[in-house]
Structure 1
Amino acid sequence: MRQSAQDHALSPISGASVSLREAPVTDVPGASAPRRTGGGEESMVLEWRYIAKGVRVVPEPVATPFIWTGAYAGAFVLVTVLDLLGALDRTGLALAALSVLAALLGVRGRFVAAPGTALLCWMLLNFFAAHPIGEISWAGHRDPEWMACLLAAALIGTTAGRVLHARAAYRRVSPYDGTG
């Protein structure tokens, strides 16, 4: 069987398909003449063909309300776990953990969800992890820094997510040249 430049690199995993075609057995290495079956028909040979997957767009980000729900629930669980571990007396650890949460949520979210994510994380940090506990307060020296840190984490996560998705989409759109 003759092989084109694409045939050597194809497998079912990489998007190839198997098709049956009528071909004389002389196309098969080692055969000298067409072989006839009982009904006078030539035998069938398997041929690999490349199936183009087409253009796939960049995945859509998750809707903003779902990101905010994840931020609220995740921050609540995270602050509760840190409280049970006795680590809330160090607010720097809680801020770092909530910043990681905001960045992870940002990877799948939209840019417009970042400020709300940062605000929800800050509210739970301020309400449960900073003194006076149980009250939302504003300390002019620390709260702007906390808000900026959480907002930067959410924006960095969102930017990283958009770049990674765009690079993956670019690779899927790139033409297959058959060189491997």
Structure 2
Amino acid sequence: MIDWVPVRTGARPVPSPVATPLVWAAASGGALALVALLNALVGPGRPSPALAALSLLSVLLGLSARFVAAPGTAVLCWLFLNGFAVAPAGTLSWAGHRDAFWLACLCTAALVGTALGRLRHARAAYRRVTTDVGGSTETGS
């Protein structure tokens, strides 16, 4: 016997990620604000707290972004980290291993945030679909 189940036409099961240009705009504005705040509180020339804060920003932005936004998010955060958290302020430089490490940290943070966001949305969609199709409202762990 075939059971007909109505398909919802309302909300999508998995939310669409935020457009990449909006993520990059938020990365630019957020990185500028974080570096300015850290320079005011901790003082310029201390990149470790700035790297940690910008990595957290990358994770948070990645939660609602597409995977293709991760490299751009990392580069934008790195530009503010390199340009304003390292003396002399306003001068971009490349210090080999240090900057490659910073870029790797920021890109990894953005990718981890994006993966976590996609998994969270997929899990929520799976729960909605399985509870709607099965007809039970049983909640698991």
TM bin, normalised by shorter chain, reads 0.7 to 0.9
- Greater CA radius of gyration, 1 or 2? 1
Q: Highest relative contact order (Cα 8 Å, sep 6+), 1 or 2?
A: 2
Which residue is equivalent to 1:110?
A: 66
Which residue is equivalent to 1:170?
A: 126
Query: Residues 54 and 173 of structure 1 are in contact (CA less than 8 Å); yes or no, is this contact kept in structure 2?
Result: no
Let me know the Cα RMSD of the aligned residues.
1.7
1:90 aligns with 2:49: no
Give 1:176's aligned amino acid: G
Aligned residues with identical type, % of pairs: 56
The structure richer in strand per residue is: 1
User: How far apart are 1:179 and its partner, in Å?
Assistant: 5.6
User: How far apart are 1:132 and its partner, in Å?
Assistant: 2.7
In the TM superposition, 1:10-29 aligns within 5 A as none
Which residue is equivalent to 2:8?
A: 54
Over 3 Å counting, the alpha-carbon distance change for 1:178 and 1:58 in structure 2 is closer
Residue-by-residue CA offset, 1:57-96 (whole Å, 9 max, x unaligned): 2000000000000000000000011111134432111000
Report which stretch shifted further, 93-102 or 132-141.
Answer: 132-141
Q: Identify which of 104, 125, 134 aligns with 1:148.
A: 104
Count of aligned pairs: 129
User: How far apart are 1:178 and its partner, in Å?
Assistant: 5.5
TM-score (norm 1): 0.67
5+ long unaligned stretches in structure 1:
1-51
The structure richer in helix per residue is: 2
Distance 2:83 2:19 in 1: 26
Give 2:101's aligned amino acid: E
